[in-house]
């Protein structure tokens, strides 16, 4: 693989940027900011409800059943309604904007991210391929100190099609100005990152960053359990 690869795309959330930890902190700060709204509802109950609903809506977004703006607003609206919290109509957009602003400024990276990027930066061109919102992802990368490692950022906003749609991968290939056999994609999600990348003809490395995926077996899929393992593969 080393001999022909010239470009490495990374997924951002859950792969390089520690989404779970950063989101947990952002939700806590949103809860504190709007404490008067959440009176009578515990932080744990709010976070648990939000995460469940947000996960469902992201799945709908990936399936193109809802759009980006619907995703942003519905997750807080449904959460507040599920918790039977009364709120003024304009609070939903305000709360979402507050969450995204706080979230994007969180700095925690996945273990080994900087070490892997430092090793790879002089050997390959590096890019980000993400379903996240472009502006939010840029602030995340700058806040966590990894923005300058990357020359290309491809988001689902740019293409109008989220992963696992092949169109976003084909767009990333076009943007790289490299041939398919010169590109490798590193991501944490088998269904949304790895299998569609392979289907498009580019190399893929599955970062098994979730306990539930560690026992999953998929033929012909190269995988790692730590980002620093990339140093021996690339």
**How do residues 125-173 score in pLDDT, each as one tens digit?**
999 999 998 999 999 999 999 999 999 999 998 899 999 999 999 999 9
Considering the entire predicted model, what is its pTM? 0.92
pLDDT in tens, the chain (234 residues): 677 999 999 999 999 999 999 999 999 999 999 999 999 999 999 999 999 999 999 999 988 899 988 998 899 999 999 999 989 889 999 999 999 999 999 999 999 999 999 999 999 999 999 999 899 999 999 999 999 999 999 999 889 999 999 999 999 999 999 999 999 999 999 999 999 999 999 999 999 987 555 555 566 889 999 999 999 999
**With contact defined as beta carbons under 8 Å apart, do 93 and 162 qualify?**
no
Domains of the chain: 7-18+109-233 (3.40.50.1000), 20-104 (1.10.150.240)
């Amino acid at each position: 693989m080393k001999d022909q690869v010239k470009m490495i795309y990374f997924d951002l959330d859950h792969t390089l940027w520690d989404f779970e930890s950063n989101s947990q902190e952002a939700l806590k700060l949103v809860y504190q900011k709007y404490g008067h709204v959440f009176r009578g509802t515990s932080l744990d109950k709010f976070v648990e409800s939000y995460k469940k609903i947000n996960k469902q809506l992201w799945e709908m977004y990936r399936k193109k059943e809802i759009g980006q703006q619907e995703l942003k607003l519905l997750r807080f609206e449904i959460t507040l309604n599920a918790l039977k919290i009364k709120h003024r109509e304009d609070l939903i957009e305000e709360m979402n904007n507050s969450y995204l602003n706080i979230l994007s400024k969180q700095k925690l990276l996945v273990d080994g991210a900087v070490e892997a990027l430092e090793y790879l930066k002089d050997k390959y061109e590096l890019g980000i391929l993400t379903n996240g919102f472009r502006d939010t992802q840029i602030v995340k990368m700058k806040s966590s100190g990894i923005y300058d490692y990357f020359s290309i950022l491809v988001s689902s906003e740019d293409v109008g099609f989220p992963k696992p749609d092949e169109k976003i991968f084909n767009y990333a290939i076009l943007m790289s100005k490299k041939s398919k056999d010169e590109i490798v994609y590193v991501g944490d999600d088998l269904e949304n990152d790895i299998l569609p990348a392979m289907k498009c003809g580019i190399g893929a490395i599955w970062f098994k960053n979730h306990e539930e995926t560690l026992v999953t077996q998929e033929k012909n899929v190269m995988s790692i359990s730590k980002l620093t393992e990339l140093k021996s593969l690339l």
